[in-house]
Amino acid sequence: MLSLAAFDNIDASASADSIRVWAEEEENARRERIRDITVMDIYDIKMERRKFDHSTLLSFDNWFQSLLGQIFSLN
């Protein structure tokens, strides 16, 4: 259960004030989400996401298509 371990790590390293603020934000989000969906933004991950290099995928796709062509042309 990787997510539980990650949560335990965050919980152990957070200050009591941070945990209190997070609990208050979560309670507010649960209470207000019917009237204002933007309160759910507290659950958004606020870190820079890794950029994906699509050329790698295209290279793999070209390789795979070539391999399939070879396999089916041998029959």
Could you tell me the pLDDT band of residue 57, with boundaries at 50, 70 and 90?
low
Range name among 10-19, 32-41, 58-67 with the lowest pLDDT average? 58-67
Whether the model pTM is above 0.75: no
In this predicted model, which residue has the larger pLDDT, 9 or 45? 9
**Domain span at 24:** 2-73
pLDDT in the model for residue 53: 66
Query: How many domains does one find in the chain?
Result: 1
Nearest to 25 by CA among 44, 8, 10, 12: 44
pLDDT in the model for residue 2: 73
DSSP class of residue 1 equals: -
Burial class (CB in 10 A: 0-12, 13-18, 19+), 25: middle
Nearest to 10 by CA among 19, 48, 27: 19
Contact assessment for residue 11 and residue 19, using Cβ atoms and an 8 Å cutoff: yes
